Amino acid sequence: MNAIRRSGIRPRRVPHKIGTAILVAALGAACERTDESSVRPGDPIIGVLLPFTGSKAASAESYEKAMLMAVDQINRAGGIEGHNLHIVSRDSRSNPEVAVAASQELIDDVAVDLLIGPLDPEAASRSRWYTASRDVAQVLPGIMPLALQPAGFIRLAPTTERLACVLAERLVKDDIGRAVVLYQNDSLYRAMASSIVSARTTLAEVGSPSDFSVLAIEANQYSYRETIQLAASRLAQAVVLVADPIVAANVIQSWATTGLSIRWYLGPLLDNEAFLANIPHGRLDGVVGLSASPQGFWPEFTEAYRKVWLADEPAGGADLFYDAVNLSALALAARAHFARSSTATVDLAHLMKAVSEPPGVPVPWTQVGVGLDRVTAGFDVDYAGVTGPVDVGETAQKWAYSTLIGFWRVEGTSAVYEDDYKTGTNCGQ
pLDDT in tens, 363-408: 999 999 999 999 999 999 999 888 777 777 544 444 445 456 778 8
Whether residues 20 and 153 fall in one domain: yes
Amino acid of residue 297: F
Q: Kindly state whether residue 122 falls inside one of the protein's structural domains.
A: yes
**pLDDT computed for residue 9 by the predictor:** 40
- Is pLDDT of 10 > 90? no
Tell which phi-psi region holds residue 351, choosing left (phi > 0), alpha (psi between -120 and 50) or beta.
Answer: alpha
Q: Which of 296, 299, 285, 306 is nearest to 415 (CA)?
A: 285
Long-range contacts at 99-104 (CB < 8 A, ≥ 24 apart): 99/49, 99/123, 99/126, 99/127, 100/126, 100/127, 100/130, 102/49, 103/47, 103/49, 103/127, 103/130, 103/131, 104/130
- Is pLDDT of 5 > 60? no
- Is pLDDT of 77 > 90? yes
Higher pLDDT, 4 or 81: 81
Mean pLDDT of all residues in 244-252: 94
Whether residues 233 and 283 fall in one domain: yes
Q: Kindly state whether residue 428 falls inside one of the protein's structural domains.
A: no
Higher pLDDT, 320 or 148: 320
**pLDDT computed for residue 153 by the predictor:** 86
Higher pLDDT, 32 or 346: 346
Q: Kindly state whether residue 398 falls inside one of the protein's structural domains.
A: no
Whether residues 9 and 145 fall in one domain: yes
Q: Kindly state whether residue 350 falls inside one of the protein's structural domains.
A: yes
* CATH number for 228: 3.40.50.2300
Q: Kindly state whether residue 427 falls inside one of the protein's structural domains.
A: no
Whether residues 184 and 275 fall in one domain: yes
pTM of the model: 0.86
Q: Kindly state whether residue 394 falls inside one of the protein's structural domains.
A: no
Whether residues 356 and 281 fall in one domain: no
**pLDDT computed for residue 396 by the predictor:** 44
Phi, psi of 31 (to 5 degrees): -70, 105
Amino acid of residue 397: Q
pLDDT band per the 50, 70, 90 thresholds, residue 254 = very high
Higher pLDDT, 234 or 88: 88
CB atoms within 10 A of CB 188: 26
For residues 193 and 165, what is the distance between their CA atoms, to the nearest angstrom? 11
Whether residues 209 and 236 fall in one domain: yes
Whether residues 314 and 327 fall in one domain: yes
Whether residues 183 and 237 fall in one domain: yes
Phi, psi of 214 (to 5 degrees): -125, 150
How many domains is the chain built from?
A: 2
Q: Kindly state whether residue 396 falls inside one of the protein's structural domains.
A: no
Mean pLDDT of all residues in 20-48: 70
Q: Kindly state whether residue 324 falls inside one of the protein's structural domains.
A: yes
Q: Which of 214, 262, 260, 216 is nearest to 237 (CA)?
A: 262
Whether residues 21 and 104 fall in one domain: yes
Whether residues 234 and 328 fall in one domain: no
Whether residues 167 and 21 fall in one domain: no
Whether residues 233 and 333 fall in one domain: no
Q: What percent of the chain has pLDDT over 70?
A: 83
Amino acid of residue 47: G
Q: In which domain, by residue range, is 221 found? A: 160-295+403-418
Mean pLDDT of all residues in 3-28: 43
